[in-house]
Structure 1
Amino acid sequence: MMAQTTAQRQAAWRARRATAGKKGNGERRLDMWVSTEVDLALVRLAHRYALTKRQMLERLIVRADDAIIRRLDPDSEQWDSYFDATR
């Protein structure tokens, strides 16, 4: 087999992201700017809990989402509205 170029290796890695992560359900790329205040706070939080910034952000988001879901009745309009939210 011939050696892959850097571009080919990168393309293969990106293609595998669709099935990466827990349970093979994929990962998605976030590309955004945040304020310096937010970035510095994220750095402090991650350092305090010995996590990467990615791990800290994932933990914060999942905990906030779980807190909302626990308060919703699965048979309610609020549940439907929450899970049908548009991006």
Structure 2
Amino acid sequence: MAQTTAERQAAFRARRATAGNDGNGERRLDMWVTTEADLALARLARRYSVTKREMLERLVVRADAAIVRRLDPDSAEWDTYFQVPR
């Protein structure tokens, strides 16, 4: 029997959530941002010849890496950042 549109969409999202080399897949973000932020993201993406998605991923991952580099893995700050219970 043929799948409904909703069933096909659910299957697509499930496959996407587990796709990738590590089986970790992707996560869907659904949010509103200010016009200022959207225009800035578009300018940055255009400047670096990437999609807005790629630009956003780069910015987030680099900001996170900069914080993690400054943290001692045995510190309370590390646990707080990664929300590891003591």
Q: TM-score range by the shorter chain?
A: 0.7 to 0.9
1:78, 1:58 → 2: CA distance? Answer: 24
Segments of structure 2 that go 5 or more residues without pairing to the other structure are none
Structure-1 residue corresponding to 2:51 = 52
- The amino acid of 1:17's aligned partner reads R
Instruction: List 4+ stretches of structure 1 deviating above 6 A.
Output: none
Greater displacement, 64-73 / 6-15:
6-15
2:80, 2:19 → 1: CA distance? Answer: 28
- The amino acid of 2:47's aligned partner reads R
Segments of structure 1 that go 5 or more residues without pairing to the other structure are none
Structure-1 residue corresponding to 2:63 = 64
* Structure 1 residues 29 and 63: alpha-carbon distance in aligned structure 2, compared to 1, 3 A threshold: same
* Structure 1 residues 17 and 6: alpha-carbon distance in aligned structure 2, compared to 1, 3 A threshold: same
2:68, 2:43 → 1: CA distance? Answer: 28
1:40, 1:77 → 2: CA distance? Answer: 38
Structure-2 residue corresponding to 1:30 = 29
1:48, 1:40 → 2: CA distance? Answer: 12
Greater displacement, 28-37 / 7-16:
7-16
Aligned pairs, number: 84
* Cα RMSD after superposing both structures: 1.8
Give the TM-score of the pair, scaled to structure 1.
Answer: 0.84
1:30, 1:74 → 2: CA distance? Answer: 29
Give the TM-score of the pair, scaled to structure 2.
Answer: 0.85
